[in-house]
């Protein structure tokens, strides 16, 4: 595999992990616009453990993920009392505050950035991304995933059916945060250097776009969205500076034709019925 | 399924008992000192002109609104201050005037949501049941659909189904929750005659299984065909109670329905 291709696929792997971190709460109707902040927590926590305490990457990365998940629970409980645009604003502010804290935290290099001593090879990053996709595919086969949709679709009815709406929302938010932390921790160990400026609002917004573009109704939407946003600009490289204009045009056309995202639940049912009809 | 016990005495604890219920919204008294009870295994209708407070009663019993004063007992359990989420465990479930199914989920998935009360452990939450062919949850949901003659819709997206079918799926979901008391808000509204007949048969089958129904309905023929007892509300107050043929002759009821002076 060429260095260029490996580089692109590594970016794709990180984008896929981030997309699922946004997808989990979004599947329950909660927009987290501060996902970069949770990535930063995972990245800095894991990097600190390998650098300063001499931990192995294999222990530091899960701890970074757990730290982000814990912050997700603590923040999620009060923040998820808000809805819609207010939740988006609250999480947006949260992401900014977290990045600002790391930007001024001398113990992890502050504005100068923070080199990381341990290294995760591309193969490890790929394996982690595939693991995340498989885990998400497994979760999508459970009642938990069904309840995410139920809570998003009609929280009153879900509540009357006995489902703990807040419990499901906080769990989805915290699991998303943990996943973001995991991706951030892997990022720190692959690139061997992190700086707070990387975990900015554009990273959060782009990740939300992957998910909305791919579609939030099925577990494959974020994968397709992240792949589109990562690979298509690369494929358009030959068109030089036109690539951004072409890419924007693609997005506008797709969103006009499929406002629910590229991959929807009814699309899946249609394919299933066709394949059943073909085999009958 | 065993037949309902016809020997049930009126002295047995009612399925639903409402006593001295009061509810105001910004100074407007929506429910005034309302008391009535619904006997087990029977269908009771809650009727009254628009704005009488019928849906508010449903919202108070299901816990969507809190009460100002009074008490609500379901199957002998005081649910007055129980969080709405916990009330279904006492056996009470409701439908909404506008059907509240999750429209982009399949019929089967909607029914699985209804099963939650009986599959709410952490292990149940995380079991990848969709990977297990013919898992018992899916089997049970399909069986409930088959019982109502709706099995052909199992895999359909709910939003694409006819109105009458969706109404009945809403009923199946409530029964899958294991509810013994069903509150149905205008179940026959918007249905054509054949759909109304199918719904009537469905409800009669539920009563025969021993379920208790409290029905808000404007179609008096429909009410007459399934409900033995009728409670009439007007401006949040009970103005009459008894068999439909009797309350319909009550001058207070006639006055409340002024302008719609037709016999049921």
Residue A42: alpha-carbon gap to chain centroid: 13
The pLDDT of B55-66, averaged and rounded, is 94
From residue A198, give the alpha-carbon distance in Å to each of A40, A63, A122.
9, 21, 20
Report d(CA B237, CA B55) in Å as an integer.
13
Looking at the predicted structure, is the pLDDT value of residue B138 above 60?
yes
Tokens 């951030």 found at: A184
Assess contact for A42 and A69: CB atoms under 8 A.
no
Looking at the predicted structure, is the pLDDT value of residue B10 above 50?
no
pLDDT at A273: 73
The pLDDT confidence band at residue B260, using thresholds 50, 70 and 90, is low
| Interface contact flag, B117 A162, Cβ < 8 Å | yes
Report d(CA A162, CA A123) in Å as an integer.
44
The pLDDT of B85-104, averaged and rounded, is 90
Report d(CA A251, CA A249) in Å as an integer.
5
Interface residue ranges in chain A relative to chain B, Cβ cutoff 8 Å: 138-144, 146-147, 149-150, 153-154, 156-165, 217, 265-266, 269, 272-273
Count helices and strands in chain B by DSSP H and E runs: 10, 10
Which of A157, A259, A263, A269 is the best substitution to test chain B (most B C-beta atoms within 10 A)? Answer: A157
pLDDT at A243: 80
Say if strands B43-47 and B229-234 run parallel, antiparallel, or are unpaired.
parallel
Say if strands B77-78 and B69-74 run parallel, antiparallel, or are unpaired.
antiparallel
Computed over every residue of chain B, the mean pLDDT equals 89
Contact residues, chain B, for A164 at CB < 8 Å: 85
Helix A122-139 crosses helix A165-191 at what angle (to 10 degrees)?
170
Report d(CA A221, CA B119) in Å as an integer.
28
| Interface contact flag, B130 A142, Cβ < 8 Å | yes
Residue boundaries of the structural domains of chain A? 3-200
In the stretch 31-70 of chain B, residues with CB closer than 8 A to chain A read 62-64
Q: Return the bridge partners of A128, or none.
A: none
DSSP state for residue B2 in the 8-state scheme: P
Q: Is B130 on the interface with A (CB under 8 A)?
A: yes
CATH architecture of B35-98+163-256: 3-Layer(aba) Sandwich (3.40)
pLDDT at A84: 86
Report d(CA B87, CA A64) in Å as an integer.
40
Looking at the predicted structure, is the pLDDT value of residue B52 above 60?
yes
**Measured between CB atoms, which of B86, B125, B177 is closest to A143?**
B125
Report d(CA A200, CA A36) in Å as an integer.
6
Contact residues, chain B, for A265 at CB < 8 Å: 104-105, 157
Report d(CA B154, CA B106) in Å as an integer.
7
The pLDDT of B240-253, averaged and rounded, is 91
From residue B106, give the alpha-carbon distance in Å to each of A146, B14, B109, B115, B143.
11, 36, 5, 15, 16
Q: Is B127 on the interface with A (CB under 8 A)?
A: yes
pLDDT at B57: 96
Report d(CA A243, CA A248) in Å as an integer.
8
| Interface contact flag, A161 B117, Cβ < 8 Å | yes
Nearest Cα of chain B lies from the Cα of A198 at a distance, in angstroms, of 35
Q: Which two tokens stand for residue A184?
A: 């951030």
Q: Is B256 helix (H, G, I), strand (E, B) or coil?
A: helix
Which of A28, A135, A159, A260 is the best substitution to test chain B (most B C-beta atoms within 10 A)? Answer: A159
| Interface contact flag, A163 B116, Cβ < 8 Å | yes
Assess contact for B80 and B61: CB atoms under 8 A.
no
What residues have CB less than 8 Å from B222, skipping those under 6 apart?
Answer: B188, B196, B200
The pLDDT confidence band at residue B1, using thresholds 50, 70 and 90, is very low
Report d(CA A146, CA A150) in Å as an integer.
6
The interface predicted TM-score (ipTM) is: 0.86
Contact residues, chain A, for B177 at CB < 8 Å: 161-162
Q: Return the bridge partners of B44, or none.
A: B214, B229
Tokens 């007892």 found at: B229
pLDDT at B262: 52
Summarised one tens digit per residue, pLDDT across range B159-209 is 999 988 998 899 899 889 889 999 999 999 888 999 899 899 999 999 999
- Quickly list H helices, chain A: 3-27, 35-52, 57-79, 84-103, 122-139, 143-153, 155-160, 165-191, 201-214, 221-235, 242-257, 265-279
Report d(CA A173, CA A25) in Å as an integer.
5
Residue B219 CA neighbour count, 13 Å, CB half: 17
The pLDDT of B127-142, averaged and rounded, is 93
Report d(CA B126, CA A140) in Å as an integer.
10
pLDDT at B74: 96
Regions of chain A where pLDDT drops below 50: none
Residue boundaries of the structural domains of chain B? 35-98+163-256
- Quickly list H helices, chain B: 54-62, 84-87, 107-114, 122-126, 136-147, 163-176, 193-208, 220-226, 244-247, 251-256
Report d(CA A261, CA A263) in Å as an integer.
6
Length of chain B: 264
Sign of torsion over alpha carbons B82, B87, B89, B90: positive
């Amino acid at each position: 595999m060429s260095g260029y291709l490996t580089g692109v696929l590594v970016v794709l792997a990180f984008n896929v992990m981030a997309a699922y971190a946004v997808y989990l709460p979004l599947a329950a109707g909660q927009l987290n616009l501060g996902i970069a902040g949770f990535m930063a927590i995972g990245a800095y926590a894991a990097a600190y453990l390998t650098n300063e305490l001499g931990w192995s990457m294999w222990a530091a990365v899960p701890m970074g993920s757990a730290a982000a998940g814990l912050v997700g629970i603590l923040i999620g409980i009060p923040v998820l009392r808000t809805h819609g645009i207010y939740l988006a604003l609250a999480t947006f502010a949260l992401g900014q505050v977290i990045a600002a804290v790391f930007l001024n935290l001398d113990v992890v290099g502050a504005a100068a950035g923070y080199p990381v001593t341990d290294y995760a090879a591309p193969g490890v990053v790929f394996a982690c991304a595939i693991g995340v996709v498989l885990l998400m595919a497994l979760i999508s086969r459970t009642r938990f995933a069904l309840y995410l949709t139920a809570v998003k679709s009609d929280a009153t009815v879900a509540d009357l059916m006995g489902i703990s709406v807040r419990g499901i929302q906080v769990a989805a938010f915290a699991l998303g945060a943990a996943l973001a932390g995991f991706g951030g921790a892997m990022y720190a160990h692959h690139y061997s250097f992190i700086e707070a400026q990387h975990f900015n609002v554009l990273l959060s917004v782009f990740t939300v776009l992957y998910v909305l573009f791919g579609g939030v109704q099925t577990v494959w939407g974020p994968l397709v969205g992240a792949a589109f946003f990562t690979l298509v600009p690369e494929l358009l490289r030959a068109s030089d500076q036109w690539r951004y204009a072409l890419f924007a045009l693609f997005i506008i056309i797709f969103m006009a034709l499929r406002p629910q995202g590229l991959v929807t639940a009814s699309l899946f049912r249609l394919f299933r019925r066709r394949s059943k009809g073909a085999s009958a | 399924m065993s037949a309902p016990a016809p020997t049930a005495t009126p002295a047995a604890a009612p399925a639903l008992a409402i006593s001295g219920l009061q509810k105001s919204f910004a100074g407007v008294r929506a429910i005034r000192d309302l008391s009535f009870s619904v006997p087990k295994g029977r269908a009771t209708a809650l009727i009254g002109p628009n704005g009488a407070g019928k849906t508010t009663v449903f919202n108070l019993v299901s816990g969507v609104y809190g009460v100002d004063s009074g008490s609500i007992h379901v199957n002998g359990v005081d649910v007055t201050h129980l969080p709405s989420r916990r009330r279904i465990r006492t056996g009470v479930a409701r439908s909404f005037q506008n059907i509240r199914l999750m429209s982009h989920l399949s019929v089967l998935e909607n029914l699985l949501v209804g099963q939650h009360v009986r599959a709410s452990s952490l292990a149940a939450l995380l079991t990848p049941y969709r990977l297990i062919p013919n898992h018992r949850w899916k089997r049970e949901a399909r069986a409930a659909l088959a019982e109502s003659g709706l099995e052909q819709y199992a895999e359909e997206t709910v939003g694409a189904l006819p109105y009458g079918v969706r109404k009945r799926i809403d009923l199946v979901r409530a029964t899958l929750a294991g509810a013994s008391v069903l509150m149905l808000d205008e179940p026959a509204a918007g249905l054509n005659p054949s759909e109304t007949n199918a719904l009537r048969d469905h409800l009669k089958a539920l009563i025969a299984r021993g379920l208790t129904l409290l029905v808000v309905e404007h179609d008096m023929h429909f009410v007459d065909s399934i409900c033995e007892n009728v409670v009439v509300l007007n401006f949040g107050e009970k103005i009459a109670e008894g068999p439909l043929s009797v309350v319909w002759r009550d001058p207070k009821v006639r006055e409340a329905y002024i302008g719609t002076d037709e016999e049921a």
